[in-house]
Amino acid sequence: MLTMQDNMNTRVHPQWIEQHFEWYRAAWIECGELIDHYGFKWWKKQQPDLEQVRLEAIDIWHFGMSALFAEDKSIETLAAEIEADIRGHQPSGDGVREATEALALNCLETKGFSVGLFWDLMLASGLDFDGLYAAYVGKNVLNFFRQDHGYKDGSYIKNWSGKEDNEHLVEIVDSLDKGAEDFAKQVYSALEKRYRELALD
């Protein structure tokens, strides 16, 4: 996943690590979007949209991983540090809202990203590592797809036949064999087909 994230960020800016973008800020803002999908308004009836909650968690992971990169750190070293953080972390048992708030607060206080607190959010939202990986690959492919189809210049169409591309992505990922060697290619091909049929026609 780290290699895929590096490739995606490099696509946007070849020297992205040296730019020191505020990835922590993107992460905590995504936390707010996640809470919105889960629901926080006690004054009205709300049903948690757990699929969207998990998608927002994947977006947080994109930004969180990016925040962990440094010029003097190899991907192998970073992977080992992430694994050590997870192994050494004692899960809090927090619910979705509390885990999200704890992660957002940490982002704001440290201007960094806590793998352990993200792990709490994963557990709270019902994501295991396999689920994280499959959803991450899907979203990574979607991000490349967006870039390939005009996301940066504004020509990309995000709503396809009344649904956001994220929603189409969930349906596509669910329909495919996540263990297939060419899983990422299958996701891209399926996105391409739907985009042509639903967004461009």
pLDDT band at 52 (very low <50, low <70, confident <90, very high): confident
Same domain? For 121 and 174 the reply is no
Nearest to 67 by CA among 152, 124, 143, 2: 2
Q: Are residues 120 and 135 in the same domain?
A: no
Same domain, yes or no, for 116 and 31?
yes
Residues 6 or more apart whose CB falls under 8 angstroms from that of 115 comprise: 64, 68, 82, 85, 86, 89
For residues 201 and 198, give the distance between their C-alpha atoms in angstroms, rounded to a whole number. Answer: 6
Rounded CA gap, 1 and 30, in Å?
A: 19
Total tally of structural domains belonging to the chain: 2
Average pLDDT for the chain? 93
Q: What is the pTM of this model?
A: 0.86
Task: Please give the Cα distance from 176 to 49 (Å, whole number).
Answer: 22
Q: What is the pLDDT of residues 63-114, one digit of tens each?
A: 999 999 999 999 999 999 999 999 999 999 999 999 999 999 999 999 999 9
Query: Among residues 98, 127, 156, which one ends one of the domains?
Result: 127
Same domain, 116 and 19: yes
| Statement to judge: residues 167 and 113 lie in one domain | no
Q: Residue 92 belongs to a domain with what CATH number?
A: 1.10.4010.10
What's the pLDDT band for 53 if we cut at 50, 70, 90?
very high
The residue type at 44: K
- What is the reported pLDDT for 19? 95
Residue 95, domain extent:
2-127
pLDDT at 200: 82
Tokens (6 digits) for 17: 């690590």
